Chain A
């Protein structure tokens, strides 16, 4: 039973570029959430996707966008990268949107913006 998988594991981009990160949820899960984790900090909620629609959004600019596919996998897109976007990006999946559902995290994508 595969857990949450994310790709790529590491990525280096230049300021102003665009990046796409990918996530496959745990088998049987239908909801995907994305988090940004700066070094030494807790994860910050970016947004959540359920039934291919963005259902909730954290305090992130429109440069951060996403998509969920019919097979429940998801992408996170970041445009016009800034140095401050350097972080570990975590994907978490769950069954349903209710916040009593256990979250399963992937191991993240480490993004470095130079």
Chain B
């Protein structure tokens, strides 16, 4: 069964600290992996998209990594800001144009 599992479910960090969010998937065939940021009450916004051949991609303070062999991805946030408080959703593109969404990690950045 195609699944995307994210951990932790929720996370609290202090402003200025770094954090890493995890995504494990069992999607086959694999096409791409995406990370989205979703602010409360808003639609998700794309952070990164990685294909099979890419193992890292950055977008400002956000860096995503992909290990296609172990089917794991991580999203690292550097020098967190209050505006980073949001849900982060991992999405894996599979066969037949399918996109499988994780449940998200809810991040709270406190001053």
Taking beta carbons and an 8 Å cutoff, which residues of A are in contact with B? Answer: 4, 35, 40-45, 48, 55-56, 88, 90, 92, 97-100, 102-108, 110
Contact = CB atoms under 8 A, between A and B. Distances in A.
Nearest to B98: A99
A106 B43 contact: yes
Given A99-B98, A100-B51, A107-B41, A41 B31 contact: no
A52 B93 CA distance: 23
Nearest to B4: A42
Interface of B: 4, 31-32, 34, 36, 41-46, 49, 51, 89, 93-94, 96-99, 101-104, 106
B44 A44 contact: no
29 contacts: A4-B43, A35-B101, A40-B103, A40-B106, A41-B104, A42-B89, A42-B101, A42-B102, A42-B103, A43-B101, A44-B101, A45-B99, A45-B101, A48-B97, A56-B97, A56-B98, A90-B44, A99-B94, A99-B99, A100-B31, A100-B51, A103-B34, A103-B46, A103-B99, A104-B46, A105-B44, A107-B42, A107-B43, A110-B41
